[in-house]
Amino acid sequence: MHFLAFYFIYAVKTISIIIAIIYYTRKEGFEVDLIKLKEKYSKHNIKGKYRFTDRKKDRPKLVLLLIGYKRQLWDDILPRFKSQLDDDMDVCLVSSGRYFDELENLARENDWSYISTKKNNVCLIQNIAISLFKKASLIFKVDEDIFLTKDAFKKMESAMVRAQEESPYNIGMAAPLLNLNAYGYYRILEKLGKLSDFESRFGKAKMAAGRDQAIETSGDIARFMWGEDGTIPHIDKIDELFSQSNPSWSICPIRLSIGCILYKRSFWEDFGRFPVVIGDGMGLDETIMIAAGAALSQTMAVAEDCAVGHFGYKDQGAEMMKLYCSRRDLFSWNLK
């Protein structure tokens, strides 16, 4: 408990420093000195021992797949992942705190790069990976528990471009509608006309993120959103239905989990990279990105024509693995 309290305080202080740096670098009279301070602070966040197999092609887009902790899902997530890739993308497998011969072989077979770090910290390894791919101006980051659907990357990028052109916002990030996500689940339920079904079973649905929210803790809700009882269609069917409408986007007004995210390199540079503190950094990258988005007026656009599957949050993991083992049909790649 004392360790958790210390970690929380340390994280809050780190966020405060970053926000202060962002704020004051924009104030006349402080600009030069504090830009130097931000640059010095940023350099600390890429210091760590790593192992890198370099197959980069200096392409304009970088795809990071964070992988190495959920081997059971690879047979389903990897074919979906490969289907997204285009010739303008560099791909890098990213394993934090672990090195795997299997991932090294996978990278070699597909002509991808592979990076692993000695220290298990997802903020550190993302910073190092992005810094190594200097030509990439757009970053796709995907976790290994994300079940991508047809043309998800293209739809995310389209939403970013269209929202920038059509809205009054500056768009720094884009995401799909995730079925287990504080924003995505609500929009999916609304668009499918299933909000009343959900609320009759689980109570009022809220667009709210956090460990105190049932969408992030309840195994029953996770199974429901993955279609265990048939109320909610297969994730590929949901995506197919949403894709039939004209491409559209929305603006996410809350914290959105970044298991599947597209963002601009310039945005990552502007907020000084992800902070590297004690612990594994899980969730801190997300907190900083969302906070910096508000501080720098870099808004999150969501592709309303793109539904993607998120296997589940930590507290839902055991229940979801039981469902996965007994109902693989709910997770299989179904594009028919």
pLDDT mean across residues, the chain: 89
Measuring CA to CA, which residue among 67, 107, 68, 71 is closest to residue 90? Answer: 107
Residue 22 CB coordination number (10 Å) = 18
Q: Which residue has the higher pLDDT, 140 or 277?
A: 140
Beta strands of 4-45 (E only): which ranges? none
> Which tokens go with 197?
């079904």
pLDDT at 107 over 50: yes
Decide if 295 contacts 289 (C-beta within 8 A): no
How far is it, in rounded angstroms, from Cα 8 to Cα 285? 14
Pick the range with the lowest mean pLDDT from 119-133, 144-158, 196-210, 266-280.
Answer: 266-280
31 sits in the region (left: phi over 0; alpha: psi -120 to 50; else beta) called alpha
Report domain 45-330's class.
alpha beta
Pick the range with the lowest mean pLDDT from 14-18, 158-162, 250-254, 264-268.
Answer: 14-18
pLDDT at 40 over 70: no
**Domain map of the chain by residue range?**
45-330
Task: Tell me the whole-structure pTM to 2 decimals.
Answer: 0.88
Work out the pLDDT band at 48, boundaries 50, 70, 90. confident
Pick the range with the lowest mean pLDDT from 32-41, 270-279, 313-322.
Answer: 32-41
Encode burial over 36-59: b for 16+ CB neighbours within 10 A, e otherwise: ebbeebbeebbeeebeeeeebeeb
Q: Which residue has the tokens 């202080």?
A: 13
- Rounded to 5 degrees, what are φ and ψ at 119? -80, 135
Q: Which residue has the tokens 């962002």?
A: 22
> Which tokens go with 257?
């989990």
pLDDT of residue 302: 98
pLDDT of residue 16: 55
Q: 3-state SS string over 207-256? A: CCCCCCCHHHCCHHHHHHHCCCCCCCCCHHHHHHHHHCCCCCEEECCCCC
Q: Which residue has the tokens 């970088």?
A: 62
